[in-house]
Amino acid sequence: MRIGFVSDLHIDFNRQYDFTAVLEQLVYDKHLDELVLMGDSANGLQRNLAFYDWLAAALSVPFRTLIGNHDLYVDHPREKSVAEIQQTSRATYAKLDQLPTSLTRHPIETAHWFITGINGWYDYTFANHFSEDKGPRYADNVIAKHVWPDQMYINGNQISYRRDRNWVTRQIFSWQHQINQLDLTNKQLLVVSHMLPTKKLTRQMPIPLYDRFLYQLGSDRYRRVFEQNHVKLSLSGHSHMPNNVVENGIRYRNLSLGYDFQWQNPGDALGELERVMYVLEDES
């Protein structure tokens, strides 16, 4: 059994590529038996649902999905109230998380692996020298308010450290509850998430206020709960920084495709997918 993992297709930004056809070719070329799309396939609910319908009709293999931040974006937020934006983005999350393709709801079991999912969010624990009492100050920063689009398109520019932290907490509790129900005897644990579970997957860049950009990339609390549960492999997306590290015995890989201007070979969507994707091979 061969399972392919990739994140951050951003089909509406990378609109010049027919990703249905590209993924169909990828499945064929890589002899995949299943495909996992790890979030940020498109902006908003309707674009994602349409894309999944196209894939279901085109692919010869099943696929699973996770939810990224862009998947929750609400169209035309400046024409809506804060309450309308938040209600719509929460309803979008619930809808996408309940899909039959949702990896968080439907883990994959192979002969030697349990493959589980956490959609993920951020809680500012990637801040240098993070401390809980400074959390509200980390959240209410110039990048979050004026540069990073999540708060506008998901929360109507209403900043709340407690809300973001609680969102991470709820996802961790839900994942831990699922793990507690699994028989992991003779199995290794693989966790797939959209957000980063360790800051070590990020890169340092000489950009003013760059550390504030890192706040929105994930949560260090995911790393801690993964270590407590003896996770062997963690796959993530979101950052548009494909790379891999090992930390405290866990292999971490980032598999985000990103925008075509970030690719090594702009214009070659299939080649870039082959470059960044990860294939797990095991007995079914």
- Region 276-284: what's the mean pLDDT? 94
Could you name the CATH architecture of 2-281?
4-Layer Sandwich (3.60)
Name every residue whose Cβ is closer than 8 Å to that of residue 129 and which is 6 or more positions away in sequence: none
Q: What is the pLDDT of residues 22-55, one digit of tens each?
A: 999 999 999 999 999 999 999 999 999 999 999 9
What's the pTM value of the predicted model, to 2 decimals? 0.96
Q: What is the mean pLDDT of residues 236-247?
A: 97
Q: What is the pLDDT of residues 76-101, one digit of tens each?
A: 999 999 999 999 999 999 999 999 99
Higher pLDDT, 101 or 284: 101
Concatenated DSSP letters of 146-210: HT-SHHHHHHTT---HHHHHHHHHHHHHHHHHHHHHS--TT-EEEEEESSBS-GGGS-----TTH
pLDDT value at residue 207: 73
Would you say residue 206 has pLDDT above 80? no
pLDDT value at residue 196: 99
